[in-house]
Amino acid sequence: MATVIIETMTPESYEPPPMSAIDLATTQVMIGDNAKSYNVYKALLCASSKNFNAALNGQFRDGQLNELKLDDIQEEVFEDYVDWLFAGKICFTQRAAGMRLWDLYIFADRFHIPQLKRDAVNYVHNANRPPSLHFVKRAFNELPDKSPIRSILIDVYAKYWDPELEEDKTKTREEMQMLPAAFLGPVLIEVYKRLEHPYQNEDLDLCMYHEHPNDAQVQACRAKRAGAKNEIPRPVGQVDLGDPLNG
């Protein structure tokens, strides 16, 4: 039964299975310059990531070698990923996010972990306050034009950002002057649209940023979020995601 449950799971629809359903075979993953070793359930690695599945099960794998070497990944980033593998959600607090959220998203993008990317997008939205302007600058300097994180940053800033809540307004003005036009232009357009047609407390449709492969998964994602809203209230007030460049 365990094999059936795992084999029907894909990176597009990953969520942690019951412990009783997990194949207990592990893969040794060596992280960082010091090659710190982690033993992680192979089934979860392969179910969550197309890249890890190809590396461990693909036709070009190194014989029967059951290990991964990720020498340019930080230990904390990999540990946050493993926490997500078992919990099915990003586990660090919003106060501790900042750079950790950025690094986790880049990790998910690099190793093709689509559900983790979606959870990072949801995390940005559910904080109810945009990440720092440093986060924005990195996103628009380092990610592709069509990155979902770039898209949701534009919409979240247009809808939620209030400059009056910034503690250091001089620093904020200086940071705003350093932001690329690819961010500032769309934000101004969205703000103007909202002035013409004020929102009636409607929420953003997160599936616009999720890169679902088909309509069926869009509908399944919306249904799942609708159920979660009945259990976990959205945060109220302003929550600070911290400065991603300073921890």
Mean pLDDT of 179-202: 80
244, pLDDT greater than 50: no
Domain limits of the chain? Answer: 1-88, 92-247
CB neighbours (10 Å) of residue 107? 21
User: Bridge partners of 69?
Assistant: 30
Average pLDDT, the chain: 79
CA nearest 27: which of 14, 37, 12? Answer: 37
The token duo for 209 is: 């940023």
Mean pLDDT of 103-123: 91
CB neighbours (10 Å) of residue 122? 19
CA nearest 67: which of 42, 93, 102, 104? Answer: 42
Q: For 43-58, how does the pLDDT look when each residue is reduced to its tens digit (9 = 90+)?
A: 899 999 989 999 998 7
Distance of alpha carbon 156 from alpha carbon 161, whole angstroms:
7
User: Bridge partners of 36?
Assistant: 31
Mean pLDDT of 79-90: 92
Top-ranked range on mean pLDDT: pick from 4-8, 62-66, 67-71, 225-229: 67-71
Give the burial string for 23-62 (b: 16+ CB within 10 Å, else e). beeebebbbeeeeeebebbbbbbbbbbbbbbebbeeeeee
Q: Using pLDDT thresholds of 50, 70 and 90, give the confidence band for residue 84.
A: very high
Mean pLDDT of 161-180: 82
7, pLDDT greater than 70: no
* The CATH number of domain 1-88, selected from 3.30.420.140, 3.30.1390.20, 3.20.110.20, 3.30.710.10: 3.30.710.10
